[in-house]
A and B are shown apart, each in its own frame.
Chain A
Amino acid sequence: AQKVTQAQTEISVVEKEDVTLDCVYETRDTTYYLFWYKQPPSGELVFLIRRNSFDEQNEISGRYSWNFQKSTSSFNFTITASQVVDSAVYFCALSEAYGGSQGNLIFGKGTKLSVKP
């Protein structure tokens, strides 16, 4: 069965600290896609990154970086030097190419990040 687990329900850090949000996924598909979305208090889901199952290269975008490891079925997200504007709920999601979900997104329960000044 397809599943995304975000074990951290809430994380609180002080500004400028680094923080890592964990994501573990389950799928039987060999072709799949992983995503991270940010949901600020306004409610809109903002796309951050997409990764396909054949590309295990880590990615860095400014203060954000992502570590994809197929061996541990993990796709973790790190924010370096966190800022108050990073406060939001972050969702990890899985989409399968051929499995039961076939293109729809399966979300984790989210991690609420609070960055205090």
Chain B
Amino acid sequence: DAGVTQSPTHLIKTRGQQVTLRCSPKSGHDTVSWYQQALGQGPQFIFQYYEEEERQRGNFPDRFSGHQFPNYSSELNVNALLLGDSALYLCASSTTYRGDTQYFGPGTRLTVL
């Protein structure tokens, strides 16, 4: 049973560019959440997708957007990259039940130069 997968593993971009990160959920899961983890900090919630719609959003600017596809996979897009966007981006999948455990992928390490 495949777990949560993310691509790419690492990414280097320059300020002002745009980036797309991808996530495939664990089998049987229909909800995908994205988190940003800065160095030395705990993960911060970006947004959550269910039934191809953004169900909930954390305190992140509109430069951060996402999408969920009919097969439940998801993308995170970040426009106009800033140096401060450098972080580990984690995708988590779960069922729609709000208290369900979220299982995390290996993350994408984004470096903005």
Same assembly: yes
**Total A-B Cβ pairs within 8 A:** 61
Q: Flag the segment in B11-19, B66-74, B77-85, B94-102 that touches A.
A: B94-102
CA distance A93 to B92 in the complex (A): 14
- Is residue A116 within 8 Å, beta carbon to beta carbon, of the partner chain? no
Selected contact of B43 from candidates A33, A42, A101, A107, CB within 8 Å: A107
Name the residue of chain A whose CB is nearest to the CB of B43: A107
Q: Number of B interface residues, CB 8 Å?
A: 24
Q: Which of B48, B102, B105 gathers the greatest number of chain A CB atoms within 10 Å? A: B102
For A42, what are the chain B residues with a Cβ–Cβ distance below 8 Å? 106
Please judge, given known A-B contacts A43-B88, A104-B33, whether A35 and B42 are in contact too, CB under 8 Å. no
Q: Are A107 and B104 in contact (CB under 8 A)?
A: no
A35 to B99, CA, bound (A): 10
Residue pair B88, A47 in contact (C-beta under 8 Å)? no
